[in-house]
Amino acid sequence: MLEDQDYPKSIQFEVQTGQFRPLLDHTVRRLQDMAGMFADQVAVKRELERGGRVIYEFDSHPFKTSHSDMVLGVTRINPGKVGDEFFMTKGHIHERDDQPEIYHCVQGEGYLLLQTMGGEFQAERWTPGTISHIPPMWAHRVVNTGDRLLIFLAVFHLSAGHDYRPIEEKGFRKRVIERNGQVIFIPDNRWT
Ligand code: S6P
Ligand code: ZN
């Protein structure tokens, strides 16, 4: 006998707004939630005195069954910068070393930054329609370098787990900033 949760289900995603229904879990990350992640701490302080902006929001919908649980997530990163550094997700590595993930850029433009614990770094350029596979044991962060909302879908296993510490402590090897109207990568000095 199958249990209720073991039957196929569908949910509805609205491409224009980047929202789906039903929504089971909603998280908002403001500058105060990730203040230490931006290089320009003078700009961070100035922004926080003005109240701090929402950097991104993400929603997730776990599809739980009696055997194995997948999650669909959607993240919406606002356009903007702190100093000259573009808005981005905090970034994490999965706690389990056998857990990959798939990201799908629905709207906007930017970069997916990837990094191993050994310090190998890779950046994937994103435009609408780019789908990226994140292999197990690669930390991941998304940066919005455009002037509109960047929306991406994520598909992963609920058991993956999220470890934020390695990125909180040392960041990614490269930061993505704007200089003279250009998007450029500069080394994070914690890695040099
Ligand atoms: C989960 C997946 C995404 C992120 C979301 C927010 O494995 O990678 O749903 O959780 O994009 O990013 P972060 O780094 O704050 O979790
Ligand atoms: Zn992830």
The 10s digit of each residue's pLDDT in 96-128 is 999 999 999 999 999 999 999 999 999 999 999
Measured in degrees and rounded to the nearest 5, phi and psi for residue 89 equal -80, 160
Q: CB–CB of 20/13 below 8 Å? A: yes
* Per-residue pLDDT at 145: 98
Whether the predicted pLDDT of 60 surpasses 90: yes
Which of 55, 71, 74, 89 for mutating ligand 1's site (highest number of atoms within 8 Å of CB)? 89
Rounded Cα distance, 6 and 1, in Å = 10
Rounded Cα distance, 98 and 106, in Å = 26
Query: Does the Cβ of 90 fall within 6 Å of ligand 1?
Result: yes
User: For residue range 147-171, what is the model confidence (pLDDT) as tens digits?
Assistant: 999 999 999 999 999 999 999 999 9
- Cα of 91 to ligand 1 centre, how many Å? 7
Rounded Cα distance, 13 and 116, in Å = 32
Which numbered atom of ligand 1 lies nearest the CA of 90? 14
User: For residue range 35-48, what is the model confidence (pLDDT) as tens digits?
Assistant: 999 999 999 999 99
Rounded Cα distance, 167 and 1, in Å = 45
The percentage of residues in the chain with a pLDDT greater than 90, rounded to a whole number, is: 96
Q: Nearest to residue 62, comparing CAs of 33, 22, 96, 94?
A: 22
Q: CB–CB of 101/131 below 8 Å? A: no
pLDDT band at 1 (very low <50, low <70, confident <90, very high): confident
* Per-residue pLDDT at 154: 98
pLDDT band at 185 (very low <50, low <70, confident <90, very high): very high
Whether the predicted pLDDT of 23 surpasses 90: no
Q: CB–CB of 124/111 below 8 Å? A: yes
Quote the pTM value: 0.97
